[in-house]
Every structure is written in C-alpha cells, then in structure tokens.
Amino acid sequence: MTDTPAKPARSYTKLTTGLNIIAAWLAIAAALALGRDMAAIVVPIMATLIAALLGVYQTIGHFDLRALAALSRPERKPRPPARPRDPLPEEPQ
C-alpha cells in the first residue's frame, strides 16, 4: 500500500480567493452606485484583479498537481547505453 503525500501547506486557499473576488465585486457595485465617473475607473481595475486572482489560484493548483504527480511516479532506473559495436543476435529459422 502506498502512502499518500502530505497535503500542501500553503496560505493562498480557495477561501482567500473567494473572499477577494467577493470584495472586488462589492467594490464594483459601490463604484456603480457612486456614479459613472467612479465606475469608469474602478470597474476595469477590479475586473483585472478578478482575472488575476483566478489565474494565480489556477497556477498554484497546477504546480501542486505537478508535484503530486512527480511523487506518485515510481523511480526509473536508467537504461544502459546501447552498444552499437555488439553484433545483432541471429534470428532462429
């Protein structure tokens, strides 16, 4: 039976990402309530922030998945190099 690898200890979690995205949407709503001039400044910045947060979360998850896959691969022994000077074995007839 194989041991499962330890869960990665990182502080950037799904909860952190979700709370930051909710805060960005609240900032968008507040900017819209304050008027068109404020919305013209805040909405593009918050949309970029939301996209960046999701990108960072997916990237960190990708690195975690790669590390987990590397741990689950069995160690491969390197094959000895081919020796081209050795004759090929005769085929039985």
Q: Place 73 in a pLDDT band, splitting at 50, 70 and 90.
A: confident
53 and 17 in contact (C-beta within 8 Å)? yes
This prediction's pTM: 0.61
Residue 22 reports pLDDT greater than 70: yes
Could you give the angle at the alpha carbon of 2 between the alpha carbons of 67 and 69, nearest 5°? 20
Residue 20 reports pLDDT greater than 70: yes
Which pLDDT score, from 0 to 100, does residue 67 have? Answer: 77
54 or 75: which carries more pLDDT confidence? 54
Q: Place 3 in a pLDDT band, splitting at 50, 70 and 90.
A: low
